[in-house]
Amino acid sequence: MTVTRRTSKNVLLDTALSNFYGAADEMGLEDGLVEILSRPERAISVSLPVVMDDGSTRVFEGYRVQHSTALGPAKGGFRYHPDVDIEECEALGSLMTWKCSLAGIPYGGGKGGVSCDPLELSTSERERMTRTFAARISPIIGDWIDIPAPDVNTGAPEMVWFMDTISKMRGRLEPGVVTGKPISIWGSRGRTAATGVGVAICVKELLESEKVDIKGARVIIQGFGNVGTYNARSLVKYGAKIVGIADMTGGYHVPGGIDIERAFEHVTNHPKKLLEGYTQPGLEKLSAEDILLVDAEVLSPCALEGAINAKNAGRVRAKYIVEGANGPVTPDADAILSDKGILLVPDFLANSGGVIGSYFEWVQNQNGFFWTEDEYNHRLIPIMTDNFYRVWNYSKAHEVKMRRAAFLVAIKRVADAVKMRGIFL
């Protein structure tokens, strides 16, 4: 049997497929499993008519992809962004499959979103769009089927609207249908910070493994949303020095170290939650692209995919890269960084704290019993640390890059589940 290797003009999907096929070849995965795992189980597109505040009606396009449910219900966020399409959701859904597998939790992978510019929408328009999206995909959503969560430009309010819509449609409370809810409505203490905390743990363990003192280590963080913020705040607690941060308004560079709590307060109080207008003594304003090229021990891209690519990878000066975003480094850039001797911790290992945190929230929802934040972090930190060293040790033992090692470990668990369950429907 000859497996037809899929390609895509979508950079993120092509990257995901390329990484999967490379790992599948290396582990000698049988052709039938390659065919199954290179395609999503289900992908749907829905139209979302929304009455706008001015009385007009706009129709948005929404998507949900369930890549795999071999290990359990699909798990993955939904995002609001102009570039959302079905191929992006497929790529991100496949990354969620490997991320959940690697994390050792009982989930498969999924992803969704709506193609829109959220900055153009009022709160009431966002609510109506979210509720329509929930209603349109409700037949394939459930706490034992597919469990959405926050992603780019979505958060606790969208999760409440989503949960409330599904609950009212089904005539019963469905708190476990989404994660990322506020603490006051079936949410979990510790969940908001979990992804960024997990990235910071990987930075810490990587530097310790490389015999580099984290105290005083210079870190650049591209992206200052939820992931970047809590990554930065956690690293400061470990003693690292954050010398650069960035969001869509540009890069902010302070060689002596950015006052992260001051920056966090600025973003919290900004009407659009941006760094725009942030200042402190010694600050140099750069473009969001140039911040990636600042000299530092660690670069942690926590924004959108493809930030480090063939055009700029050769100019990256950091010694280590820890991916907080999904797919921030393209395959071409991966090769360039490898040739430069830059060690990289891949996204679906480094940012898996979020989905582990979602799993914790889901477990609490199933039992109606909630943990303290200390209990939450007490469970999160050892899981993240163990996952890091499982990949680190595999990488060293088999002399492969950490991204390949992570794929090999994750794919094997899913492939074994598919073989044991068999092919049916």
Answer for the pair 354, 326: CB distance below 8 angstroms, yes or no: no
Helix (H) or strand (E) holding 219: strand 218-222
- pTM of the model as a whole: 0.86
Distance CA 40, CA 102 (A): 18
Average pLDDT over residues 256-273: 96
Q: What is the DSSP letter of 144?
A: T
Q: Report the residue count for the chain.
A: 425
Whose tokens are 């493809």? That residue is 306
Task: With H, G, I as helix, E, B as strand and everything else as coil, classify residue 210.
Answer: coil
- The answer to whether 254 touches 282, Cβ cutoff 8 Å, is yes
Helix, strand or coil for residue 415? helix
Per-residue model confidence as pLDDT tens digits over 147-168: 999 988 999 999 999 999 999 9
Q: What are the helix (H) ranges across 171-286?
A: 194-209, 226-238, 260-269
Which positions are catalytic?
Answer: 111
User: Which of 345, 96, 145, 136 has the alpha carbon at shortest distance from 231?
Assistant: 345
| pLDDT for the residue numbered 327 | 85
Answer whether residue 44 shows pLDDT above 70: yes
Tokens of 374: 């200390």
Q: What is the C-alpha separation between 159 and 176, in angstroms, rounded?
A: 11
Would the pLDDT of 215 be above 90? yes
The amino acid that residue 382 corresponds to is P
Mean pLDDT, residues 325-354: 93
DSSP 177: G
Domains of the chain with bracketed CATH: 40-177 (3.40.50.10860), 194-350 (3.40.50.720)
Could you tell me which residues come within 8 angstroms of residue 362 by beta carbon, excluding any fewer than 6 positions away?
143, 147, 176, 179
Contacts of 142 (CB under 8 A, 6+ apart): 73, 174, 177
Structure-token match 């969704």, residue found: 112
Q: What was the pLDDT predicted at 42? A: 98
pLDDT digits (tens, 9 = 90+) for 175-196: 999 999 999 999 999 988 999 9
If you compute the radius of gyration of the chain from its CA atoms, what whole number of angstroms results? 21
pLDDT digits (tens, 9 = 90+) for 83-135: 999 999 999 999 899 999 999 999 999 999 999 999 999 999 999 999 999 99
Question: What 3-state class would DSSP assign to 378?
Answer: helix
Which two tokens mark 61?
A: 């396009």
Decide: 21 and 38 in contact? Cβ < 8 Å: yes
Determine which helix (DSSP H) or strand (DSSP E) holds 223, and give its type and residue range: none
